[in-house]
């Protein structure tokens, strides 16, 4: 009998939340044969990552995954409608009547609170912890992604590394892909950088450093990202297809691409500036130098989370640590030309660290496989 799974997602960080949930849902279906129903409140953001999504449909099937438009907390549910595994993403509140129906099931479903990724040590003590419901005979389990064998690991499809190796083995594939997005031969010949960041990133001063530097740089920015800085550089609207060259910098605005194509963009670039969680993990799997822009929290609590990752990943990589801290506003008097030169000079050490990091983290298994194995142990 096919196992059923319900995944509830509210889109807070525009693309990060649905990006993670969509990857998880696809992998659960494709690699584990699970019947997945993805409940999501923002179909418009979902459609930007997956054009197959119909924003007007209440119920649809996309790439084998049932997608339901989650409008509100109302509705009546029977035990038969409840899945075998229920995942609330980032502690969203499930519909109360759905939870009541869960309590009537025999056996009761496995219930997960799927948490955010962090390198902080405290998650090792919280991963797999239980949380009994205060009124109903239900128990929730916390599931944390992470970077050690005491966490759930990272999202990674079984074929990902083979696809990356095949792509990188043939330089024409990267050229053809970038040309399909509008890049010219001159843009391809330059150092290629992708930028995906939050609005408060210091993009304008970095553009100035690149423009006045000695290295020809092509910067690829998705439409809607760093709009103010990009428009300032372009001297016009930052729409897909817009491009301008000033000094040694060319900035090209790209359309949003589907997740498999975003991986290709990361593989095709020499340096990747990424944000949030989903693109951060994909940058780690790309094996290229990357700079992480972390989601902001009150009282700069995100800086602690940022340092925890750098202390784990960037051991001996002083330049990438310095650049990342400045990019996240830890150092406000940043010398961007010097930071960029340091990052580029450190490229060989970063490449070696990427290989070692990949070997280290993959030893703990992939997140989806670990989650399924844990769920099966609870049934």
The pLDDT value given to residue 331: 79
- Write the CA distances from 221 to 54, 158, 192, 301, integer angstroms: 26, 28, 11, 27
Nearest-10 Cα torsion for 127, 130, 133, 134: -110
CATH code at position 331: 3.40.50.2000
Spatial separation of the C-alpha atoms in residues 141 and 292, rounded to whole Å? 29
Contact indicator for 111, 140 with CB cutoff of 8 Å: yes
Digit-coded pLDDT (tens) for 144-191: 999 999 999 999 999 999 999 999 999 999 999 999 999 999 999 999
Q: 75, 108, 72, 78: which is closest to 92 by C-alpha?
A: 72
Residue with tokens 């035990």: 79
Say whether both 134 and 209 belong to one domain. Answer: no
Q: Tell me whether residue 263 is one of the annotated catalytic residues.
A: no
Where do we find the tokens 């948490």?
A: 115
Asked whether residue 14 carries a pLDDT value surpassing 70, the answer given is no
When pLDDT is averaged across residues 49-73 and rounded to a whole number, the result is: 96
Residues 227 and 352 in one domain: yes
Task: Give the residue among 109, 91, 106, 82 at the shortest CA–CA distance from 9.
Answer: 91
Mean of the per-residue pLDDT values for the chain? 96
CB neighbourhood size of 66 (10 A): 17
Which position among 6, 17, 187, 366 bears the catalytic label?
A: 17
Q: Looking at the structure, do residues 165 and 256 belong to the same domain, yes or no?
A: yes
pLDDT score of 313 more than 80: yes
Say whether pLDDT at 268 is over 80.
yes
Lowest mean pLDDT among 7-16, 68-77, 268-277: 7-16
Q: What's residue 67's pLDDT?
A: 98
Task: Give the residue numbers spanning the domain of 339.
Answer: 159-363
User: What pLDDT shows up at residue 12?
Assistant: 81
Average pLDDT in the 206-235 region? 97
Band (101; pLDDT cuts 50, 70, 90)? very high
pLDDT at 288: 95
Q: Which of 277, 278, 346, 366 is the catalytic position?
A: 277
How far from 21 is each of 116, 176, 345, CA to CA, in Å? 12, 30, 37
Q: Do residue 76 and residue 66 come from a single domain?
A: yes
Is 17 one of the catalytic residues? Answer: yes
Which residue stretches of the chain are H helix?
A: 16-32, 43-49, 96-103, 123-126, 160-169, 171-180, 185-189, 203-211, 227-234, 259-268, 278-286, 301-313, 318-327, 336-345, 347-362, 367-378
Handedness of CA 261, 264, 268, 271 (dihedral sign): positive
**Is residue 330 over pLDDT 70?**
yes
Q: Two tokens at 264?
A: 């290709």
- Is the same domain home to 221 and 354? yes
In the numeric block, the tokens 């074929």 are attached to: 159
- Assess whether 35 and 164 both reside in one domain: no
At residue 3 the predicted structure's pLDDT band, cuts being 50, 70 and 90, is very high
- Token look-up 């083979």 returns 162
Measured on CA atoms in the order 24, 25, 31, 34, is the torsion positive or negative?
A: positive
Please give the share of the chain, as a percent, with pLDDT higher than 90.
93
Cα distances (angstroms) measured from residue 226 to each of 173, 204, 233: 28, 9, 11
On whether both 132 and 177 belong to a single domain, the answer is no
Q: What is the mean pLDDT of residues 365-374?
A: 98
Same domain, 209 and 253: yes
Domain count, the chain: 2
Confidence of residue 379 (pLDDT cuts 50, 70, 90): confident
Radius of gyration of the chain (CA): 22
Q: Could you tell me if 209 and 278 lie in one domain?
A: yes
Segment 69-78 mean pLDDT: 94
Please compute the mean of the pLDDT values over residues 308-327 and round it to a whole number: 97
Q: Are residues 310 and 371 in the same domain?
A: no
183 shares a domain with 118 = no
Q: Stretch 17-42: mean pLDDT, rounded?
A: 97
**Same domain, yes or no, for 80 and 199?**
no
The pLDDT assigned to 296 comes to 85
Characterize the bridge pairing of strands 65-69 and 59-62.
antiparallel
């Amino acid at each position: 009998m096919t196992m059923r799974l319900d995944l509830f997602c509210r889109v807070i960080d525009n693309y990060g939340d649905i990006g993670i949930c969509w990857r998880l849902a696809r992998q659960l279906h494709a690699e584990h044969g699970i019947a997945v129903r993805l409940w999501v409140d923002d179909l418009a953001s979902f459609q930007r990552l997956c054009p197959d999504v119909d924003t007007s449909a209440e119920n649809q099937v996309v790439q084998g995954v049932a997608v339901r438009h989650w409008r509100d907390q109302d509705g009546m549910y029977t035990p038969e409608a409840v899945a075998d595994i229920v995942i609330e993403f980032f502690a969203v509140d499930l519909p109360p009547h759905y939870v009541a129906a869960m309590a009537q099931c025999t056996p009761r479903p496995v219930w997960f609170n799927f948490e955010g990724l962090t390198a902080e040590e405290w998650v090792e003590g919280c991963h797999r912890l239980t949380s009994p419901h205060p009124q109903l005979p239900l128990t929730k389990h916390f599931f944390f992604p992470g970077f050690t064998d005491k966490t759930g690991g990272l999202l990674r499809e079984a074929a990902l590394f083979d696809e990356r190796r095949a792509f990188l083995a043939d330089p024409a594939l990267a050229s053809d892909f970038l040309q399909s997005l509008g890049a010219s031969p001159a843009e391809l010949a330059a150092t290629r950088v992708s930028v995906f960041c939050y609005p408060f990133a210091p993009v304008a001063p970095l553009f100035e450093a690149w423009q006045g530097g000695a290295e020809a740089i092509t910067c690829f920015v998705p439409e809607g990202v760093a709009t103010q800085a990009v428009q300032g550089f372009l001297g016009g609207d930052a729409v897909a297809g817009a491009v301008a060259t000033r000094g040694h910098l060319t900035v090209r605005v790209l359309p949003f691409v589907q997740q498999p194509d975003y991986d290709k963009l990361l593989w095709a670039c020499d340096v990747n500036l990424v944000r949030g969680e989903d693109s951060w993990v994909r940058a780690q799997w790309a094996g290229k130098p990357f700079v992480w822009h972390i989601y902001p929290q009150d009282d700069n609590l995100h800086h602690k989370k940022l340092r925890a990752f750098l202390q784990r990943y960037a051991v001996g990589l002083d330049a990438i640590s310095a650049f990342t801290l400045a990019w996240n506003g830890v150092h406000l008097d940043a010398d961007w030309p010097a930071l960029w030169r340091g990052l580029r000079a450190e490229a060989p050490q970063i490449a070696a660290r990427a290989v070692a990091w990949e070997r280290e983290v993959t030893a703990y298994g992939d997140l989806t496989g670990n989650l399924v194995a844990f769920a099966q142990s609870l049934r």
